[in-house]
């Protein structure tokens, strides 16, 4: 189980880098099309990348201190505050995604591909209340993405649906990670696939835009 936890931790900076890359391509698409949704997507993934990277750095710093069990108890309040801050940043990113799906649909380009596209907690930073909020918001976004895919099937809309579905499933696993630590590993891997789906979709959009 130590090996799975290590992979879960290392997956977070990888996800952060991909999140920043998605934010870059979303902003590039926004500069080309002036689509408001792409700008919201850019902000959301930049915030999400910052949250993932800061949590990884903070957790690495805590590990470097070589805490004993007594020391961990002494800084429990700081750890709880850190978990709340990082989880809140993720929640803010998901709210931006939700807002992007409540805005008016964007126009479609000549090829019929929409530009209206539209992302893990270590156990020490786990916050069940914010996980439930994240699941509620992501559930709404997944439903909207599914409606968009049914209304206008296409490769990009499918990638968006798969990306948000991965985020939803990963947070469902994170919610129950305290019951079984292997769920943390599965959640991180599924979340990483979600980032990859978004990165592939946005590179396709910017190349055809």
Tokens of 73: 């108890």
Note whether 202 and 159 are within 8 A (CB). no
For 91-130, b/e burial (b = at least 16 CB within 10 A) is bebbbbbbebbeeeebeeeeeebbbbbbbbbbebbbbeeb
Report which of 80, 24, 11, 23 is spatially closest to residue 52, judged by C-alpha positions.
Answer: 11
**Using one digit for the tens of pLDDT, what is the confidence trace for 163-191?**
899 999 988 888 887 677 778 788 888 98
Beta bridge partners of 114: 108
**Using one digit for the tens of pLDDT, what is the confidence trace for 31-57?**
888 888 888 888 888 998 888 888 788
């Amino acid at each position: 189980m130590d090996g799975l936890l290590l992979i879960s931790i290392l997956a977070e900076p990888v996800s952060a880098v991909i999140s920043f890359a998605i934010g870059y391509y979303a902003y590039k698409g926004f500069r080309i099309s002036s689509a408001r949704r792409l700008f919201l997507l850019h902000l959301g993934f930049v915030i999400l990348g910052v949250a993932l990277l800061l949590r990884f750095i903070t957790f690495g710093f805590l590990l470097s201190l070589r805490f004993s069990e007594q020391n961990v108890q002494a800084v429990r309040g700081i750890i709880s505050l850190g978990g709340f801050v990082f989880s809140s940043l993720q929640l803010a990113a998901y709210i931006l995604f939700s807002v992007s799906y409540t805005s008016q649909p964007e126009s479609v380009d000549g090829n019929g591909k929409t530009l209206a596209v539209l992302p893990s907690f270590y156990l020490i930073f786990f916050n069940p209340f914010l996980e439930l909020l994240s699941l509620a918001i992501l559930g709404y976004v997944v439903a909207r993405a599914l409606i968009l895919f049914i209304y206008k099937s296409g490769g990009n809309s499918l990638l968006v649906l798969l990306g948000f579905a991965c985020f939803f499933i990963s947070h469902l696993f994170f919610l129950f990670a305290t019951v079984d630590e292997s769920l943390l590993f599965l959640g991180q891997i599924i979340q990483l696939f979600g980032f990859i789906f978004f990165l592939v979709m946005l590179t396709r959009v910017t190349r055809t835009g």
